[in-house]
Amino acid sequence: MTTSPFILVEGAVKAFSQILSPPFRRLLSLSLLLTAGILLLVWFGLTRLFNYYLSNHSISGSYPILDTLAFFLVGIGLFVGLAFLLPPVSALVSGYFLDEAAEAVEQRYYPNDVPGTPLSFGRSLLYGLRFAGLSLAVNIVALLLVFVPGVNLIAFFVANGYLLGREYFEMAAARFRPVADAEAMRVRNRATVFLGGLAIAALVVVPFANLLTPLFGIALMVHVHKALSRAEPAGQTQLSRRPAGSEVK
């Protein structure tokens, strides 16, 4: 098992330095535009639905202004509620771009290495759904912890350091090895992967900056995977393409 703070510090610095690079800006812009579009459509649909309900179930026939006030308040409430869903929906949308983000990191920092193999659409969809679920859970817990400080904050970082580290590392590693081997490599280097997950979890709790979490997470774990691959014995790992047909469907 390899644990080196230098691996994580160097990886985090490189990941942050690439966040504002043209390829990452394009991916971030696409994911945010799609996210905003999805949430606006949901908001519009729900407000129209409530308006239809009011037209058939008036709050007060004598005071129609109450219906207008109710519609306004519901619209504001839905806007605030959907804003809370911004990070998980962004994570779901970003899941489709993470493979491209990993490729951009590899091309910039490891141009002489054998390139990774893109994940299949099904696998990318699975990662996107898992990232969205994790992001939603993390944000719900983070909201609850506002009212319950102390030991629960430690539990929050421990749990999400493990979950986020696992997901992002295995996705980065799966571009170079079968999924089972990627999981085994994570287990061998669980301390380093966990510490990397803590760095990702720390970004999650920062408002607005947490929108960068998917891109930062995959970029960091690409660097961690590369460093760990070079540190392991030659017979235990190699930076090569995954064998054809080795991916879990």
Residue 33 in domain: yes
In this prediction, residues 60-83 reach a mean pLDDT of 74
The pTM of this model reads 0.74
Pair 239, 113: CB distance under 8 Å? yes
pLDDT in tens, 113-125: 999 988 877 777 7
Which residue range forms the structural domain that includes residue 114?
Answer: 5-231
Residue 29 in domain: yes
Encoding tokens for residue 196?
A: 């990397």
Residue 247 in domain: no
Residue 220 in domain: yes
CA distance readout (Å), 5 to 69, 106, 153, 177: 56, 21, 23, 24
Mean pLDDT over all residues of the chain?
Answer: 80
Q: Return d(Cα 55, Cα 226) in angstroms, integer.
A: 60
In this prediction, residues 208-214 reach a mean pLDDT of 83
Q: Which residue reads 């009212």 in tokens?
A: 147
Residue 241 in domain: no
> How many domains, in total, are found in the chain?
1
Residue 248 in domain: no
Cα 226 versus chain centre, distance: 20
Residue 249 in domain: no
Residue 237 in domain: no
b/e per residue 178-211 (b: at least 16 CB within 10 A)? bbebbbebbebbbebbbbbbbbbbebbbeeeebb
CA distance readout (Å), 11 to 30, 80, 115, 136, 219: 24, 35, 18, 26, 8
Q: Where are the alpha helices (DSSP H) in the chain?
A: 5-19, 22-56, 65-84, 86-94, 98-109, 121-145, 151-173, 179-188, 190-204, 213-231
More confident residue, 205 or 27: 27
Q: Return d(Cα 172, Cα 116) in angstroms, integer.
A: 9
pLDDT in tens, 9-33: 999 999 999 988 999 999 988 888 8
